[in-house]
Amino acid sequence: MARPRTRTLVYDAVLSLATEERLGSISMEGVAARAGVSKQTLYSTWPSTGAILFDALLDRSSSDDGKIVVPHSGDLAADLESLVAATIEELTDPTLEPLLRAVTADIQIDEVLAAQYRDRLLTPQLKAISDRLQRGAIEDPDAAAELLLGPILHRWLLRTRAFEPGWASAHVQRVLRATANCAVQVPPHTGNQ
């Protein structure tokens, strides 16, 4: 509904606020003030701050630079490793982390937002990874994709542990071993190097 010019102002406002402010404190009023836009204008397009954050995130990820693409060289393990690294990078990027956390918090509370988030960001992302795995002759690519992302998000969302250097590589090995034909694709497990 809002004009492109207005949308840009709002996205910029909400992104800067998400970075500066304490995390729970993003408010419609604050966004309106920062964007130099009236509250009514906000409400005529978005029902909540969560919705604005989400749209801002979508806008960012549909622009060229904000995209995580699944690499496709010949080497499956190397591709997955670089994907994991890029994901971790994004999750811990000081600009993005607050945004992603805010949206994740909203998802717990707002089912509509959760559905949009799932359909427009998460499912495509899982699909892309799954496709890459299938082309790598992994037999159950969907499960493998979940095995790959699950532990990463477990650490990040529940804040149980930071990502140690070297972990990504070991993690990819484990995932491949879990779902590949054991004897052929990966050498038997000989301990955590």
Pick out residues in 121-180 that bind its own copies (CB under 8 A).
Answer: 122-123, 126, 139-140, 143, 146-147, 149-155, 157-160, 170-171, 174-175, 177-180
Residues 87, 68 contacting (CB under 8 angstroms): yes
Dist. CA 78–CA 70, nearest whole Å: 11
Among residues 7 and 81, whose Cβ is nearest to its own copies? 81
Number of C-beta neighbours around residue 151 at 10 A:
17
Compute the least distance from the CB of residue 24 to DNA, in Å. Answer: 9
Residue 97 carries which side chain, given as an amino acid letter? E
Structure tokens at 32: 């309106």
Paired tokens of 103? 């949206």
Q: Is position 44 an interface residue for DNA (rule: CB under 7 A)?
A: yes
Residues engaged in binding its own copies (CB under 8 A): 23-24, 101-102, 104-111, 114-115, 117-118, 122-123, 126, 139-140, 143, 146-147, 149-155, 157-160, 170-171, 174-175, 177-183, 186, 188-192
